[in-house]
Structures are given as structure tokens and as C-alpha cells.
Amino acid sequence: MNIPLDCKNCVKYLGILIDSNLSWKIYIEYIALNISKIVGLIAKLRHFVPLHTLTSIYQSLISPYITYGLSVWGQTCKSYLNKILTLQKRALRFLYYAKKNEHTIPLFINAKLLPLNFLYHKTLSELMHDVSTASAPINICNLFTKTSRVHSYNTRSSTSDNFYIKASRLEIIKNAFSRTGAILWNELPSSLRELPKNLFNLRIKNKPLSVLEDEDSFIEVGRIISKVN
């Protein structure tokens, strides 16, 4: 029985808008709109409530929009991600009564909040720790294969318990979570990867905060890794 299928530019799955090109542009515009409304709320409330209350509002209302599904859409192009980073900076300037063009890195550090790219590194690292210990959902774990299971050669990659990185010429595959996650995990030092989950999460958050003191708020993930090491 032949059933015609409707072709749609965008579908919603588990609260995430997935466009036909997997560009994540539509979804980022959606969360940017919602975050912008909350930033406007913070701008009004800051005259009536203390800083710790405003920070709690940021954590409870803005952070969930940014972190939900970030390991999937956080690898999209920088121009899209900048919309979210700009809103983060605007929110922090309102929190601290900073000027419009004031540098925001000290504000991120004071609030103990991470810019978008640092959050992506943190989120992906934590998820990959779960993958390495087989505590992530099985469908996610199945996306990754240990190098030692691909070949039996005694290489540094296979003996260090790295994940196998699939070669590809397609950009969509190069930026896939199954590949970027493996690359990030393989580049983390073994001393960090072997930590229990609670200590790993603490280190993977606190270290980027210290890195942020000497870097730009949109440092590339690869450089975050090298600095964390």
C-alpha cells in the first residue's frame, strides 16, 4: 500500500525543532525568542529584587533553554550560536548594572556561569563520561565504539581506551555528535577521564571558569580542551 509522505521543513521532537537541513537555525531562533523575554523580565525585576534572586531566575528560566539538547545543536555555525551568547551577555549586564559595551567575562566569572561554548564543552564532556561508563541511554552508547574493538593493533589510541573516530568527507557527518563527542573525549587527559562522575563534573565546570579569565567568551572548543588539560 503506497502512502504519500508529507515533506516538512521542520518537525518538533521532544521539544526540539529539527529543520530539514539540520542547521538548527529554527530551533535557535525559537529559544532565543523565549530567552529574550526572560532577559526583559530580569531588566525590570533588577530594581526590586537582590542579585541572588536574579541569578536564580537566570539559572531556573534561562539555563534550561540553553542546556536542553545542547550536545546535539551546540556544534552548529557560530553565527547562530552568537544569538544565544549575545542574550547571555545582555542578561549578565542587567544583573550587574553594567554598561552596554562593558566586557562580560568578569561578569560570567562573578556569577559562576559559563558562556555558551564553554557550556557546550561541559555538557558534551559530562555526557561522554556517561558513555564511557555505559551509564548513558543505550541508544546513545551505541553511537560510539572503542578503538580496541575496531582493530587489534597495539596502538596508543587502542590502549588508552579511546573511542573510534569515523572518517568522513561530509560536513554533516564531521559535525555529528557521534564524531565530535569521540574527538572531545579522546583529547581529554586520562587523569580526568578516570575520575568518578561527581569529581569529573566539578572539575569540568571549575577549570573552564579559570580558563575564561584569560580567554574570549567564544573560544573554540578545541582550545578549551587544550587549556583544561
Say what the pLDDT of residue 158 is: 47
| pLDDT digit string, tens, across residues 2-12 | 777 677 888 99
Say what the pLDDT of residue 217 is: 58
Residue 130 scores a pLDDT above 90: yes
Residue 122 scores a pLDDT above 70: yes
Alpha-helix runs per DSSP H in 96-196: 105-111, 116-132, 138-141, 147-150, 156-159, 171-174, 177-187, 190-193
**Which one of 50-59, 97-106, 142-151, 196-205 scores highest in mean pLDDT?**
50-59
Please tell me the least confidently modeled range out of 135-144, 176-185, 204-213: 204-213
Number of Cβ within a 10 Å radius of residue 61: 17
Q: Which residue has the higher pLDDT, 57 or 224?
A: 57
DSSP string, 162-185: PBP----S-HHHHTSHHHHHHHHH
- Cα(53)–Cα(214) distance, integer angstroms: 28
Hey, where are the domains in the chain?
A: 13-113, 120-228
Please tell me the least confidently modeled range out of 21-25, 28-32, 169-173, 225-229: 225-229
Say what the pLDDT of residue 6 is: 75
| pLDDT digit string, tens, across residues 33-57 | 999 999 999 999 999 999 999 999 9
- Cα(133)–Cα(199) distance, integer angstroms: 14
* pLDDT band, very low/low/confident/very high, at 229 (cuts 50, 70, 90): low
Residue 170 scores a pLDDT above 60: yes
| pLDDT digit string, tens, across residues 136-155 | 899 999 988 888 777 655 55
| pLDDT digit string, tens, across residues 64-75 | 999 999 988 998
| Cα dihedral 215, 217, 218, 221 sign | positive
Residue 226 scores a pLDDT above 60: no
Q: Which residue has the higher pLDDT, 168 or 7?
A: 7
Say what the pLDDT of residue 161 is: 76
Please tell me the least confidently modeled range out of 8-12, 102-106, 223-227: 223-227
